[in-house]
């Protein structure tokens, strides 16, 4: 598992994302709060995902004085926080399947996207990600989103620019 985690981190960094392993939910919350302070964030968009409930993320963020916004207001959020169904080591990508709330907006509109994943959510290949999509589609119709680093685009001269059509920064915290 260690090599898989390291490959995910290496590939994510190759596409201008950042990842950090943490030892516990408490440490993840502390590092998350430190990251928010460093970025002078005030407004947050939080998607609903199991790991957020496990670490009482909403309660912690509200207790720290952050304004949590939803719906149309997400466009003014400083940071979006989500989970992921899988993290794909081969490409440094996150795979999110449609879930509760405004997960598409939370991951695409704020200038900073922070994702929390567990080590057991990291898989080796895109094929494993596609297999999960197929499995979920057999149960119910839904959308899937692959996120590979911060938003990027290129002009006619193929000069890449980060953050034009989405987050300028992607941080992933990896919990045990």
Global pTM value: 0.90
Q: What is the pLDDT of residue 162?
A: 57
Provide the 8-state DSSP code for 75.
G
Using an 8 Å Cβ cutoff, are 88 and 126 in contact? yes
Question: Nearest-CA neighbor of 28 among 5, 2, 52, 7?
Answer: 52
pLDDT band at 5 (very low <50, low <70, confident <90, very high): very high
The mean pLDDT of 125-149, rounded to a whole number, is: 85
CA–CA dist 49, 39 (Å, integer):
23
Q: Phi/psi of residue 145, each to 5°?
A: -130, 125
Q: Which residue has the tokens 């598409």?
A: 104
Residue 77 has pLDDT above 60, yes or no: yes
Residue 74 has pLDDT above 90, yes or no: yes
Residue 152 has pLDDT above 80, yes or no: no
The mean pLDDT of 83-93, rounded to a whole number, is: 95
Q: Which helix (H) or strand (E) holds 143?
A: none
Which distant-in-sequence residues (6+ apart) come within 8 Å of 15 by Cβ?
91, 92, 148, 149, 150, 152
Instruction: List domains and CATH numbers for the chain.
Output: 2-175 (3.40.50.10420)
Which stretch of 97-101, 135-139, 162-166 has the lowest confidence by average pLDDT? 162-166
Provide the 8-state DSSP code for 19.
E
């Amino acid at each position: 598992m260690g090599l898989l985690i390291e490959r995910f981190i290496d590939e994510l960094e190759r596409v201008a994302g950042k990842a950090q392993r943490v030892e516990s939910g408490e440490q993840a919350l502390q590092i998350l709060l430190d990251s928010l302070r460093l970025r002078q964030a005030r407004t947050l968009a939080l998607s609903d995902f199991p790991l957020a409930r496990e670490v009482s993320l909403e309660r912690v963020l509200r207790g720290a004085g952050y304004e949590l916004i939803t719906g149309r207001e997400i466009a003014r959020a400083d940071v979006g926080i989500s989970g992921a169904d899988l993290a794909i080591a081969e490409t440094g990508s996150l795979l999110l399947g449609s879930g509760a709330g405004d997960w598409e907006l939370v991951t695409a509109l704020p200038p900073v996207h922070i994702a929390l994943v567990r080590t057991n959510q990291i898989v080796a290949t895109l094929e494993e990600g596609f297999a999960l999509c197929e499995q979920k589609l057999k149960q119910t119709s839904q959308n899937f989103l692959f996120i590979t680093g911060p938003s990027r685009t290129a002009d006619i001269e193929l000069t890449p620019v980060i953050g034009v059509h989405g987050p300028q920064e992607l941080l992933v915290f990896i919990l045990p």
